[in-house]
Amino acid sequence: MNESVQIDTLIREALVFDGTGSEPIISDVAIANGRIVAIGSSLNLNAKHIVDAKGLALMPGIIDSHTHFDAQITWDSYVRPSPAMGVTTAIIGNCGFTIAPCRPQDRELTMRNLTQVEGMSLDVLQQGITWDFETFPQYLDMLQKKRCAINIAAYIGHSSVRTWVMGNEANKRVATAEEISEMAHIVREAMAAGAIGFASSTSPAHNGEGGLPMPSRLADDEEMMRLTLAMSSQGGGVYMVTKGGQMPMSFLQSLSQKSGRPVMVAALLHNSTNPEVVFKDLQAISEANDQGIALIGQVSCCPLTMDFTFASAYPVEGLASWKPAMGRTHAELKVCLADQAFRHNVKNELAQTSTFRLFNNEWDKVHVVQTFDEKHLPYEQRSVADLAAEMKVDPLDFALDLALSEDLQTVFTAQLLNSDTQAVAKLLNHPHSLVSLSDAGAHLTFFNDAGFGLHLLGHWARDLGIMSMAQAVYKLTAQPAAVLGLKERGLIRQGYAADLLLFDPQTVGRGPKHRVFDLPGGAARLNTLALGVHAVWVNGYLVADGNGMIETAELAGELLTEFN
C-alpha cells in the first residue's frame, strides 16, 4: 500500500473470516477512504482509530438479498433495524412490490396493496412516504440524494410496472401485446438507470386490497418472458420471482436459458405437512445448474413465526375459502367470521394437503399471545389446539369465537413453516440455496427476521454445528455478492469496500422480540436486539456498535447501480 495513505481505522488481532469459506486467521485489517487497504499480521501503521479486536471475529458485512425497505427508506435513512444486525447491503423491490414507478393517481392504491400483501400500516405509509418521484429513474435519483446508512440496490417491480401501464385493470386481466411492449420499455429504462434486476410474484398468497391478486399474478408466460428479456437486453440483471405452485420450474429454466441471466426463486420454505415439495424444487434447481442454467433458491434460516389478529389474518389470507373475508369493513368482517358456512369451507380447505401455503392446520403451533378480557387471561401462552381440546370444540371455531368476543383484538402467534430442524439444515447446506428471506421492512407488526444473519452464525453454525462458522459467513457475504453481481463487496480483500462486521463468535445471535414505537405517527413495530455485535462499518464508517445503531452515524451507504 502507499505509505502516504492516511489510515482511518486499524482493526488489530481479529479472527478474520474473509468470506471465501476458508478457515479464519488472526490478522490486522486497515481501512482508508472507505476501502480495505491492508491485511496482515502486526501492521505497523498509524491510524485515527485503533480497534482492539483480540478475541473477536471480523467478517464482511451481511448482504440481505430479500428486503422490502422501498417505502421505509423514504422516511428512515437508517432502515432500522438492519444496520445494527450487521447488514451492510440490502436489496429492495423483492417480489415486485415496489413504489416506483407510480403515477400520482395510483399512490393510494399502491399503499393499500402494500398494506395487504406486506403487512404494512396504511396510516404509516400515508404519513411516511415522501412522494417526490414518479418513474423508477426518479426514484433512484431520490435515493441517491437522500442517502442511506447502508448500501442499497433496487429491483424494478413487476406489479408497479403493470399498474403504471394498465391502471385499475392491472390486477384483473392479461395484458395486450401493446401493453407488454410498453412494460418492456419501462423495464429497459429502469435497467439503464441502475436497477439490479426485475422482480415478480406468482404466489397465491400475494393479494392486494380487497383480496384481489397482486398485478403480477395476472401475467401470462409471454409477458414474463418478454419482460425478462427486456431486463437482460443490456447484458445484466437478475430475475427474482416468488413462485406459486402453478409456475413450473421448467419455465423458470427457460427464462434463464433465453435471457442468459440468473433466476432467483423464492420462497423455498419447508412445510411439515407436505415435506418433499421444497426438496423437489431444489432438485430441479440442481439439475438446471448441471446444465449450465443459473437458478438459485432463496431459503430462510428462521422459522416463519408470525403474530396476527383476525382483523388482519395474514397466515390464512392465501386460502381460497378466506376470500369472502377479504376487503370487508370491521363490522362486515365480524359477521363473515361468525358465519357457519364460511367456517365450514375454511375447515374443508385446511383438511386438504397443499403444495404450498402458509398455514397448514397445525393448531398446536398457534398460541394465544395477548387477550383483552380478564376472564381470558389464562389462555395466554397456550396453544389453540390444547384450549380447543379442553373445550371439545374445533380449533378454528375456538380461535374465531375468542377473537370475536374481543372485537378481533386478540393477538395470536403462529409457527407456520421451517420448523423442522433437520429439514431446514438440508435447505441451508444446499449448494444452490441462498440464505435470505428476512422480509426486512415488511410485516412490521407480525415478525422481524432482519437479524437472520446473526441467527445463522449463532444458532445454526455455533450451537447446532450444521455448518462451519466460515461456511455461514460465506453464505451471508461472498455467495450473495457473486449471485447479485455486487462489485468489490462480500470479501475481506485489499481494494474491496470496507463493509465489515466485528462480533463475538461465542455470543453472536439475535435477542427476543419486543415492540418499539418509532414508525411515523408513533406506530409500533417488532424489533430484536443484536447479540454479540461489537461494530459494523459501511464503506469505512462506523454505523453500529455494541449498543446498537449509532443515531448520528454517517449516511455512508452507496446506491449500487453497476453490477458484474
**pLDDT value for 193:** 98
For the chain, what is the total number of helices (H) and then of strands (E)?
Answer: 16, 22
Which pLDDT value is given to residue 3?
61
Q: Give the model's pLDDT for residue 493.
A: 98
Is cis: bond before 101, omega within 30 of 0?
Answer: yes
Neighbours of 336 (CB within 10 A): 16
DSSP codes joined into one string, 180-231:
HHHHHHHHHHHHHHT--EEEEE--TT-B-GGGPBPGGGG--HHHHHHHHHHH
Question: For 269-421, where are the E strands, in sequence order?
Answer: 295-299, 304-308, 366-370, 411-417
Residue 305: predicted pLDDT: 85
Q: In tens digits, what is the pLDDT along the chain, a chain of 564 residues? A: 556 679 999 999 999 999 999 999 999 999 999 999 999 999 999 999 999 999 999 999 999 999 999 999 999 999 999 999 999 999 999 999 999 999 999 999 999 999 988 888 999 999 999 999 999 999 999 999 999 999 999 999 999 999 999 999 999 999 999 999 999 999 999 999 999 999 999 998 898 988 899 999 999 999 999 999 999 999 999 999 999 888 999 999 999 999 999 999 999 999 887 889 999 999 999 999 999 999 999 999 998 888 899 998 988 988 999 999 998 999 999 999 999 999 999 999 999 877 667 898 999 999 999 999 999 999 999 999 999 999 999 999 999 999 999 999 999 999 888 989 999 999 999 999 999 999 999 988 778 899 999 999 999 999 999 999 999 999 999 999 999 999 999 999 999 999 999 999 999 999 988 889 999 999 999 899 999 999 999 999 999 999 999 999 999 999 999 999
Q: How many CA atoms lie within 13 A of 299 on its CB side?
A: 28
Instruction: Give yes or no for a contact between 539 and 556, defined as CB atoms under 8 angstroms apart.
Output: yes
User: In this structure, what are the phi and psi dihedrals at residue 358, rounded to the nearest 5 degrees?
Assistant: -70, -50
One-letter amino acid for residue 554 of the chain: E
Angle, helices 158-166 vs 107-117, to 10°: value is: 150
Domain with CATH 3.20.20.140 in the chain: 62-303+418-488+511-529
Report CA 482 to chain centroid distance, whole Å.
18
Assigned CATH class of 62-303+418-488+511-529: alpha beta
**Whole-angstrom Cα Rg for the chain:** 23
The whole-model pTM stands at 0.91
Q: How many CB atoms lie within 10 A of CB 563?
A: 16
- pLDDT for 357: 78
Q: Which residue type sits at 401?
A: D
For residues 525 and 513, give the distance between their C-alpha atoms in angstroms, rounded to a whole number.
10
Please, what is the end-to-end C-alpha distance for the chain in angstroms?
Answer: 25
**How does pLDDT run across 266-313, given as a tens digit for each residue?**
999 998 878 899 999 999 999 999 999 999 999 999 988 888 999 989
The CA distance from 98 to 120, in Å, is: 13
3-state DSSP assignment of residue 48? strand
Say if residue 9 is exposed, middle or buried (CB neighbours under 10 Å; 0-12, 13-18, 19+). buried
Phi first, then psi, for residue 282 (nearest 5°) are -70, -35
The H or E element that residue 145 is part of is: helix 136-146
User: Which residues, 6+ apart, have CB-to-CB distance to 415 below 8 Å?
Assistant: 303, 304, 305, 362, 365, 366
Q: CB count, 10 Å around CB of 521?
A: 11
| Burial class of residue 178 (count of CB atoms within 10 Å of its CB; 0-12, 13-18, 19+) | exposed
Kindly report, residue by residue over 443-486, the tens digit of the pLDDT: 887 788 999 999 999 999 999 999 999 999 999 999 999 999 99
Q: Provide the pLDDT for residue 1.
A: 59
pLDDT at 271: 87
From 248, 542, 268, 560, select the one nearest 427 (Cα to Cα). 268
The three cell numbers of residue 502 are: 466485528
Residue 264's beta-bridge partner residues? 240, 296
In this structure, are residues 69 and 137 in contact, taking their beta carbons and an 8 Å threshold?
Answer: no
409 burial via Cβ count (<10 Å: 0-12, 13-18, 19+): middle
Record the cell numbers describing residue 89, joined without a space: 447491503
d(CA 286, CA 432): 7
231, 262 in Cβ contact below 8 A?
A: no
DSSP E strand stretches across 315-468? 366-370, 411-417, 433-435
- Alpha-helix residue ranges (DSSP H) falling in 370-508: 384-391, 395-405, 421-429, 452-455, 469-476, 478-484
